[in-house]
């Protein structure tokens, strides 16, 4: 009987320093703080991605243009009873959108002053869209035509509603119409239905540049001060100082969403809930962009996200949902006005276009995008590493293109293209990232760049730690 030949099985010592694969499947937007210290699921730079589909990261929505271009800049956007969109262009016209074209309602208006709008009825037969620009006096649209009305000061600006009155500003003077009488601004009979007028003082002698009736108090803003108006009748109206350290870039720089005001000031982006000092801790992680704030900055909301425009074409987009609370950066839209109409966001731009946000391209053109990761390292940058594998999972629309670049430095533009993929349809695919040229790098940064619709689902890296040297 033959005995089977048996060979001793080799016993190998396990490799030291092997790290299980590190997978990221929830992506939290951009963070401009120290790149070595931020979480792995945040990016040091980003363009045209959104966290709308959190935990994935997808390309921002595109836009469609309403009608043809008018003039070269949109000076105001308003909505009459959430049924009609109105726009003022820098050709001096006020127009409404009829579903297919812009119909002119007024002309010979100032060609540079921004407009503010509000809806108000009072003693009028129906709700009117009322607007001012500080030059052409108070105007109202009654459903048929635009007309001047009332005896408000010709330079009245920043019209808003509060306590059944229209409010506006005339330089340092805060003005209000008589109770339920949007046409009467100089009625001082000594009763509770009177108009109201008072100079609002600040230590810097600034004019009022923002009014908002969207919180429980009327907010009176200046470039470097905030005041609130208390009381409900002329006899007890009383303004109280909140701060003289922060204020508003302009009347368009503030937006109210779910009872919280967020606004742009030259030193940052702030939240304000009324009665307490403004706070900017929510925006510290995007502080690198604050140098772009200007008197032309605009804020808006689509009902979910908050948009902060930093000229000429940067949009900081904040997702305030409690499980997200992250930032994205959009490029390519030169915003001058925002309007939420029928739960959709509309944009007026510096090219005389009115845009509706939505879709997968920008008026037929593909959207360019990019995202740069932090430098991925071990616990210390001095630790030598052997990179074994790296892969990612994406959805790419047909024709969309993804380029993957690697760098072994903490910053700079020393990128090397290692992979290119063209989409064949919206299916999740694994994409291998070749790391052979970076096998012994102490760190690796990844940049995803491309165009067309795409969505990032996963990023995984696997490496081995070598002896510390």
pLDDT tens per residue across span 69-103: 999 999 999 999 999 999 999 999 999 999 999 99
Distance CA 459, CA 389 (A): 11
| b/e per residue 315-326 (b: at least 16 CB within 10 A) | bbbbbbeeebeb
Nearest C-alpha neighbor of 263 from the set 240, 247, 276, 281: 247
The confidence score (pLDDT) of residue 16 equals 72
Bridge partners of residue 146, in order along the sequence? 141
The confidence score (pLDDT) of residue 466 equals 87
Bridge partners of residue 178, in order along the sequence? 181
pTM (2 d.p.): 0.94
Nearest C-alpha neighbor of 72 from the set 309, 363, 356, 348: 348
Asked if residue 401 lies in contact with residue 422, where contact means CB atoms within 8 angstroms, the answer is yes
3-state secondary structure of 284: helix
Nearest C-alpha neighbor of 242 from the set 228, 255, 230: 228
Q: How many CB atoms lie within 10 A of CB 210?
A: 24
Take residue 67 and report the two structure tokens written for it: 């009608």
Distance CA 244, CA 239 (A): 14
Sign of CA dihedral 264, 315, 52, 86: positive
The confidence score (pLDDT) of residue 379 equals 86
Distance CA 140, CA 6 (A): 98
The confidence score (pLDDT) of residue 386 equals 94
The confidence score (pLDDT) of residue 79 equals 98
Asked if residue 199 lies in contact with residue 185, where contact means CB atoms within 8 angstroms, the answer is no
DSSP of 54-79, one letter per residue?
TTSEEEPP-EEE-SS--SS-EEEEEE
Take residue 286 and report the two structure tokens written for it: 């995007």
- What does the pLDDT profile of the chain (469 residues) look like in tens digits? 566 777 666 565 566 778 899 999 999 999 999 999 999 999 999 999 999 999 999 999 999 999 999 999 999 999 999 999 999 999 999 999 999 999 999 999 999 999 999 999 999 999 999 999 999 999 999 999 999 999 999 999 999 999 999 999 999 999 999 999 999 999 999 999 999 999 999 999 999 999 999 899 999 999 999 999 999 899 999 999 999 999 999 999 999 999 999 999 989 999 999 999 999 999 999 999 988 788 899 999 999 999 999 999 999 999 999 999 999 999 999 999 999 999 999 999 999 999 999 999 999 999 999 999 999 999 888 888 899 999 999 999 999 999 999 999 999 999 999 999 999 999 999 999 999 999 999 999 999 999 999 999 999 999 999 877 6
Condensed to tens digits (0 to 9), the pLDDT of residues 185-230 reads 999 999 999 999 999 999 999 999 999 998 999 999 999 999 999 9
Distance CA 95, CA 447 (A): 44
Take residue 370 and report the two structure tokens written for it: 């990019």
DSSP state of 133: -
Determine phi and psi for 72, rounding to 5 degrees.
-130, 10
């Amino acid at each position: 009987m033959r005995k089977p030949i048996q060979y001793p099985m080799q016993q190998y010592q396990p490799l030291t320093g092997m790290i299980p694969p590190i997978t990221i499947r929830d992506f939290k937007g951009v963070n401009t703080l120290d790149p070595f210290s931020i979480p792995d699921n945040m990016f040091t730079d980003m363009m045209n991605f959104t966290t709308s589909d959190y935990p994935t990261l997808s390309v921002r929505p595109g836009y469609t243009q309403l009608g043809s271009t008018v003039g070269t800049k949109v000076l105001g956007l308003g909505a009459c009873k959430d049924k009609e969109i109105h726009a003022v262009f820098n050709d001096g016209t006020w127009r409404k959108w009829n579903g297919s074209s812009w119909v002119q309602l007024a002309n010979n208006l100032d060609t540079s002053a921004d407009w503010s709008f509000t809806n108000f009825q009072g003693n009028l037969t129906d709700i009117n869209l009322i607007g001012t620009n500080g030059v052409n006096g108070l105007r109202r649209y009654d459903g048929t035509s635009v007309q001047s009305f009332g005896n408000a000061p010709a330079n009245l600006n920043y019209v808003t509603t509060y306590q059944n009155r229209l409010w506006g500003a005339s330089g340092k003077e805060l003005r209000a119409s008589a109770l339920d009488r949007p046409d009467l601004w100089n009625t001082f009979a000594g009763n509770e239905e009177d108009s109201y007028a008072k100079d609002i003082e600040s230590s810097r002698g600034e004019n009022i540049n923002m009014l908002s009736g969207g919180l429980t108090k009327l907010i009176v803003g200046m470039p470097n001060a905030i005041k609130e108006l208390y009381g409900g009748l002329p006899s007890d109206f009383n303004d109280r100082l909140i701060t003289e350290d922060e204020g508003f870039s302009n009347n368009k720089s503030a937006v109210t969403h779910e009872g919280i005001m967020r606004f742009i000031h030259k030193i940052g982006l702030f939240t304000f809930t009324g009665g307490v000092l403004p706070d900017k801790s929510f925006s510290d992680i995007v502080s690198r962009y604050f140098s772009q704030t200007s008197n032309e900055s605009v804020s808006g909301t689509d009902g979910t996200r908050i948009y902060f425009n930093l000229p000429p074409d940067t949009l900081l987009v904040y997702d305030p949902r409690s499980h997200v609370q992250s930032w994205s950066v959009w490029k390519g839209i030169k915003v001058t006005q925002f309007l939420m109409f029928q739960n959709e966001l509309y944009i007026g731009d510096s090219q005389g276009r009115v845009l509706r946000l939505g879709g997968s391209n920008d008026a037929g053109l593909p959207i360019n995008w990019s995202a740069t990761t932090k430098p991925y390292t071990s616990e210390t940058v001095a630790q030598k590493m052997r990179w074994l594998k790296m892969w990612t999972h994406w959805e790419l629309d047909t024709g969309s293109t993804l380029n993957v670049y690697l760098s072994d430095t903490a910053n700079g533009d020393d990128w090397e293209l290692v992979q290119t993929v063209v989409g064949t349809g919206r299916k999740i695919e694994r994409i291998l990232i070749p790391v052979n040229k970076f096998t012994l790098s102490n760190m690796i940064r990844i940049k995803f760049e491309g165009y067309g619709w795409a969505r990032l689902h996963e990023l995984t890296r696997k490496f081995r730690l070598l002896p510390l040297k």
